[in-house]
Structure 1
C-alpha cells in the first residue's frame, strides 16, 4: 500500500489536473458535441421522435427522479402512502398529491412529471388509480438511462411533438431552478435557454431533439474525476476495505485497541481531567476526614463530612471556572509558550462546561447533606448531645429549619443556588441557541436567546459576592485562617478582573471607524473597519465587538475575515439572535432604506455609521494551521469566516515566499538562513464551504475570485457545495448540471456561485474527502479545522480518527468553540 502511495504522489502531474486544462478540455468536448450534431442534422432533416424505440445508450446513473433526500423506498412505501392519501377519495389519487405519494418533496416538479407521464399515455384527467400509479412508478424508477431520458424529455416537450423549442427549454430551466432554490439562475433563464439552443441547435432550426440532449447530458456525466488513474482507483479500493469495521473475535483485544486509540487521541484532555478529579478527591477526603475527627461528628455523623467535603470541591471549582474564560491569558499562553503541547487550549469552553457540571454536583451534595441530614439531626439532638455544639450554633438549640434559613449562611446559600440555577439553565443549548423560542409562550420567548444567556451569566458577580460572605460567616469555623474561600478565589478573580479592565482600556484606545457596511443575502452584514495601529492578529483568530447603539454592555465574538496583511479589519455578522438582528437593523436604518444587496457604502458621501468598539484579538484553534503542511478547512454556512482569512493568508505567504526566493536567486543564494526556523509550513490547503443558499456565495464572491486568480501555484483547492441543489444524478438538477458545464466551459465562471470556483451539488461525501487527502498526502500530518454548527462535528472527528488509525496519514481535528 505504501508503495502505491509513493508511486501515486511521485507523479503529481497525473493526479491533479490544472483547472485551465480541465476547462480547455471541456470546451473541446462541447465543440465536439456541436460538430457531431451538425453532422447528424446535415445527413437528413430531423424526424419526429419515435417514442416506441429506445436508443442504445450507456447505463448511466443520471436523471434519477427519486433521490435519497426524498426517501423513495420502493413500491411498498408508495403503496402505503397511496392507501393513506386516498383513504377518503375512493382509491383515486389527485394530481396535487402525486409528489407526496411517490416521495418527491418538489411539488411543482412532481406536477410537471405527472403531466408528462399522463400525456404519454393520452390521459386527460387529473386523477389516477392504483394500477395507473404503478405504471407511472415503474417508468420513473426504471434503471435504464434512455428510459429516464425519454421521461425527462417529455417533461420539457409540453406539446408532445418530439421537439424542444427555446420557450420549452426556458420553462424547464425555471422549474429546475425553482426546485433547487436557485433564484439567480431563474432570473437569467432567457440567457441560459439561448445558451443551450446555441450549443444543441447549431443549424438554428429553432428546436432541439432528444438525441442532442442526450449527447450533452452524457458529456456532462463523462467529465473527468479526480481518481482517474488505475493506481488511484486501486488505492481507493484498498482504503475503503481497510476502513470497513471488523469484529475482533477476542473481546479483550478489541477493548484494548479501543482504549489505546482513545488514549492516543485524547491524552491531553485525559491528563487534565484526571488531575482535576484527583485534586477534588484529595480535597474531599481531606475535609471528610477532618470533620470526622471533630465533635460535630457525634451529632451530625457522616452528613456534615459529606457537606464539608463537597464545599471544599466547590471552592476549587468556583475558582477554576473563571480560568477557561480568561481569553487574554489563554491567547498569550498559546502564542508565547509551548504549553499548547500539553494543555488542550482548544477545549477551554468545554472544560468550563465540565467544571460547571462539577459545581452542580457539589452544590447538590452540599445542600442535600445539610438540609436533609445534618440539620434535622441537629434539631432532633438531645440537650446533652447539643451542648458541645452550642459555641457554633448558639446557646439556644435550633428548633426548626427557619433558624438556618434566616441566618446569613442560609440567605447567601439559597441566593447562590437560585442565581446559579437561572444561569446554568439558560446556558443550556436549548435556551442559548434559541431552540425553544417557538415552543415558549409570550414573554418567556425572550428566555430562549443568546441575550438571556449573556445577561444571566453575568449574575456570577453577585454569586461570587454571596460566596465570599457565605464562606466568612461559617457555623463551624470561627478563626479567619480557617475561612479559606477567599484564598481559593483571590487569584482567579483578580486575573479575571484584570482581563475585563484590559478590555475596557483597550477598546477605549483602539478606536475603529466603520469604512463600509455592505448587506448580503441571508441577512449577513459585512463590517469593514479601520485597523488600529498596534492591532496584530493571526488568521483564524476572533475579536469581540460592541455596538453601543444596540447595547452598552454586550460584547459578541466574531471571526476576523480579513488577512493579517490587510490594512483594514473585516467581520461578517449573520442575523441569528437578538443582538445580531439588532445590529443589522441599526446599520440598515443609517440610510433612508436598507442598503441594496452587496452595495458598498463608501466614499465622500458616507453616512455616519453607528459607533463600533473592538476587543481582541483572541486565540482560536484555527490560528495554528501554519504548523501543518496540509490543511483541510471546512466551513458550514457563516462558519466559513475564519477559513476565508486563512486562505487569504496562505496566498499572501505563498506569494511572499516566492518573491523571497526570487530575491535570493538574484543574489546568488538559493538556501535559506540556517538559523531561522520556518514558521509557515503550509504547502497545500483544501477548503470546503457548505452552504444552503445560493445567495450565500455573495458574502465572499470577490475573495473567491481573487484566490482563484492569484493561486498560480495551485496551493489551494476550493470546493463550494450548495445543499439546496439536488444530487448531480437527480433529474431535478440535471439541467442545472448541464448549464453549469456549458457556462464554465465558455466563460470560466460557475452559474451557481457566479465565481471562478465550480460548485458541487448536495452535501459532500466526507469519507471521500478524507480518502482523497490521504491518497494525495501519504505520511503527512493533516490539520482539519472546522467552524460551524455542531451538526458535522461528530462525523468529521470520527473520520479523522478512523483515517489516522487505518492509514499512514494523520488527521488532527480542531473545532472552533465560542
Structure 2
C-alpha cells in the first residue's frame, strides 16, 4: 500500500496534541492519519482513516483507556522502517478485518434465516419450473404460429398465478399454523414469517397478473385480430370459431370479463393493503377518507371471495384448452380453499361458544385500555399467544388481534389495547356510553364504575393463536424487550414465570418440611 518512496511525516506535537498532555485519543489518531495520507497522496488511507485508527487503538490501548501515549505514535510514525512495516501490516489487517466482518455477518444471517431462505428457494424453483413447463407446452400449439412468444409468456405466468393463488391461503390458516408449531415441522419451517410470506406471494401475483393480462391485452389479442385470413383459418379457427373475432369480442367474452373483474378486485385489495393506506398515513379529504385505514383494508381484502369465484370460471372457459382434465385451475385451488373454508367455519362456531363477559375496564396513562374478561371453560392458551376480539356493537364482521396479558393459570382473560385507530376509539366510546364517568384512582388509574351485566357490550373471542414468544420455555436465558404497547406480549410471560417461581418455592418448602418431619 505504501510503496518504497520517501514519506513526509506530520509534526505530532504541534498539529494534533494541542493541549500537550501526551495523550492521543482516537479522533486525534484519525487526524494524524488524514494529515499523513494527504501529505503523501495515499487516497486509500485518506478515505477510511477510522478503520486504521480503530486498529491502532486496538493494538496500543490494551487497557481500553480511550487514549494512547504520544511516544507510542512517535515510535510508529517517526521511525520510517517501523512506519512502513506497520502500515503494510495495518492494511493487511484491515482487509482481513473487513472479510472477517462480512463473513460473520453472512454466517449470522444464514443462522437466523436459513428456514426462510430454503423455503423461498423452493418456492422460486417451483415457479420457474411451472413457467418453463407451460412455456414449452404452448410452444407446440398451433396458436404459437400467430401469437408468438407473447402467448408463451402469458400462459407461463398463468401457471404461476394458479399456484400462488392457491398458496397464498395457507399462511393465513392460523389454526393450522398454530397446530404445526407444536410439531417437528417447526424445526425447519418458518412459521414466524407467515405474514411476510403471504405478502411476498401477493407481490408475485401482481407480477404474474401484469405478465398474463398485459400480454393478452397488448400483444396476443392484437396479433389475433390482425392475423391474415389464411393464418387464422389454419391455426386459430378451431379455437375461436370460423368468424374471426374483434378486439371487443375477445374482451367482452366470459374469459375476458372475468379476467378484467379479477384484476380490478385485486388492484383494489392490494392497494388498500399497502402500509400507507392500511395505517392511514395518507390524508384524503372527506368523504374519501373512509376509503383508507384498517376498515377499508379489512373489507376490501374480502373481495378475494369474488376473485376466487371468477378465477374458477376463468379457468374453465379457456380459448385454447378444451379437454376438462387439462383445465387445472380447480385442481390447484381445491385443497387450499377447502382448508381455508374449514378454518373459517371452525372460527365461526368457536367464536360463538367463546362469548365472554367484561369483568373490569381500566384506562391507564398513555391511552391504554385494559379489558378483564371471563375465561371460557374450554379456552386453553400459552403465554405469548394472542386472540382475536370482536365487538358486534361496533362491527359484526371485524376481528382484531391482541396479545393475551393474563397468565395461563389465571381464572380470567385480559388484554391491553392501545387506543390509536378508529375501531379502538369506538371501543372506548362504547364503554363510555354504558358506564358512568370514570373516577380517578390510585396512580392516575381510571377505573370504570360498577354497572349491570345487561348494559355491557357483548364480546366474542377467537383463538388462541401462536407467536414466536410462546416458545420461551425452551431457553435457559430470556431477554424480553418491549417498547410502549409492545410490552403486552411479555406481560403474560412474566406472570407465568413468577407463578412458576412461586410454585417451585412452595414445592421446595413442602419438601423441606416433609424431610424435617420424617427425620
Give the TM-score normalised by structure 2: 0.78
User: CA shift at 1:607, angstroms?
Assistant: 6.8
User: CA shift at 1:248, angstroms?
Assistant: 2.8
Which residue among 440, 449, 454 is the counterpart of 2:298? 454
Which residue among 247, 252, 265 is the counterpart of 1:419? 265
User: CA shift at 1:235, angstroms?
Assistant: 9.6
> 2: distance between equivalents of 1:652 and 1:391?
75
Aligned to 1:548: 392
Aligned to 2:172: 325
Q: 1:497 to 1:605 in 2, by over 3 A?
A: closer
Q: Per-residue CA shift, 1:249-307, capped at 9, x if unaligned?
A: 59777655544333222111100000000111110000001001111111111111101
> 1: distance between equivalents of 2:305 and 2:209?
18
Q: 1:378 to 1:280 in 2, by over 3 A?
A: same
Bigger proportion of residues as helix: 2
Tell whether the 8 Å contact from 1:588 to 1:595 is kept in structure 2 after alignment. Answer: no
Which residue among 566, 572, 581 is the counterpart of 2:410? 566
Aligned to 1:267: 114
* DSSP-derived class of the 2:355 partner: coil
Question: Where does the alignment leave 5 or more consecutive residues of structure 2 unmatched?
Answer: 1-61, 67-92
Higher relative contact order (CA 8 A, sep 6+): 1
Give the TM-score normalised by structure 1: 0.50
Q: Per-residue CA shift, 1:663-685, capped at 9, x if unaligned?
A: 4445559xxxxxxxxxxxxxxxx
Aligned to 1:301: 148
Aligned to 1:431: 277
1:537 aligns with 2:384: no
Tell whether the 8 Å contact from 1:590 to 1:607 is kept in structure 2 after alignment. Answer: no
> 2: distance between equivalents of 1:613 and 1:339?
31
> 2: distance between equivalents of 1:260 and 1:386?
58
Aligned to 2:332: 488
1:598 aligns with 2:453: no
1:356 aligns with 2:206: no
* DSSP-derived class of the 1:352 partner: helix
* DSSP-derived class of the 2:462 partner: strand
Aligned to 1:385: 231
RMSD of aligned Cα (Å): 2.3
What aligned pairs does 1:87-236 form with structure 2 within 5 A after superposition?
A: none
User: CA shift at 1:311, angstroms?
Assistant: 0.4
1:502 aligns with 2:314: no
User: CA shift at 1:603, angstroms?
Assistant: 5.5
Q: 1:559 to 1:234 in 2, by over 3 A?
A: farther
> 2: distance between equivalents of 1:594 and 1:442?
33
> 2: distance between equivalents of 1:566 and 1:234?
52
Aligned to 2:422: 578
Q: Per-residue CA shift, 1:727-748, capped at 9, x if unaligned?
A: xxxxxxxxxxxxxxxxxxxxxx
* DSSP-derived class of the 1:419 partner: helix
Question: Where does the alignment leave 5 or more consecutive residues of structure 1 unmatched?
Answer: 1-232, 238-245, 670-818
Tell whether the 8 Å contact from 2:175 to 2:343 is kept in structure 1 after alignment. Answer: yes
* DSSP-derived class of the 1:517 partner: strand
> 1: distance between equivalents of 2:376 and 2:256?
50
Tell whether the 8 Å contact from 2:255 to 2:317 is kept in structure 1 after alignment. Answer: yes
Q: 1:413 to 1:595 in 2, by over 3 A?
A: farther
Q: Per-residue CA shift, 1:604-626, capped at 9, x if unaligned?
A: 75672100000000001111111
User: CA shift at 1:573, angstroms?
Assistant: 1.6
Q: Per-residue CA shift, 1:695-714, capped at 9, x if unaligned?
A: xxxxxxxxxxxxxxxxxxxx
* DSSP-derived class of the 1:265 partner: helix
* DSSP-derived class of the 1:632 partner: coil
Which residue among 632, 636, 658 is the counterpart of 2:483? 636
Which residue among 218, 237, 241 is the counterpart of 1:394? 241
